[in-house]
Amino acid sequence: MKNKLIIIVAIFLTFCINYSTAYAISVDDVDVNKEGSIKVILEYEGEYISGETLSIYNVAEITTENGFVEYNLTESFLESGIKIDSSNALSSEVADEVSKFIDDNKIDGVSSVSGNDGVISFENLKPGIYYIKHNSSDLYEINGFMAATPSLIEDEIIYNIDATPKTQIIKKETPTEETTTYTETTTTTTTTKLKVPQTGFEMWLVKMFSITGILCIVLGIMLLYLEKNEGYIYEA
């Protein structure tokens, strides 16, 4: 009876260990001192995207305990309380938690800008779990994602990772600029000089003054003439 109980417990423990480490990489398969890289090629509808910035954050480092690879949070993320193991390390749920912690605590990462070939490559990476975040731009929106180096890909341990398939790129709509047309209105002011019509009474005064003037001139001439003639008669 005792032997049967030991066998049952051993089988149960073996099942639990295998289940909990189903996605783990064996220590014998990985060199925790070997550096790797993570490369991303930014491409949208067949065209490479240049001038976009991605930042990388070392979230957890690889350690070897109990014969399996395990992940321990780095110093920058210790206070996050994020639980990372071999089964969820690359999940979108962990990516969301990491992204929020970065934004809330303003953690700095290592940034790189895509060239004309759309390539961004992060080199000399220690084995661990990394988060790649897109720095906001006006043209594209690129999802953040988790990546690991080394990774087990098709039963092969890979240190130089091509994370391009993980990227989801959305092109933002370019806002339409509103154009306001201003019409210049020119106001021309014309000043008209009004002529006051002359009345009949005013015309009569003009004629009267004219005749009077002529009569005065004639009268003056006559008086001068008489004065001269009178003087001539007296002398004779």
The gap from C-alpha 2 to its chain's centroid, in whole angstroms, comes to 71
Over residues 72-123, the pLDDT tens digits come to 999 999 999 999 988 899 999 999 999 999 999 999 999 999 999 999 999 9
pTM for this predicted structure: 0.63
Over residues 32-73, the pLDDT tens digits come to 889 999 999 999 999 999 999 999 999 999 887 777 778 899
Mean pLDDT across the chain: 77
State the pLDDT confidence band at 23, using cuts at 50, 70 and 90.
very low
Over residues 133-144, the pLDDT tens digits come to 999 888 999 999
Does the 24-171 domain belong in CATH 2.60.40.10? yes
- Higher pLDDT: 123 or 223? It is 123
- In the predicted model, what is the mean pLDDT of residues 150-169? 88
User: What ranges do the domains of the chain cover?
Assistant: 24-171, 205-236
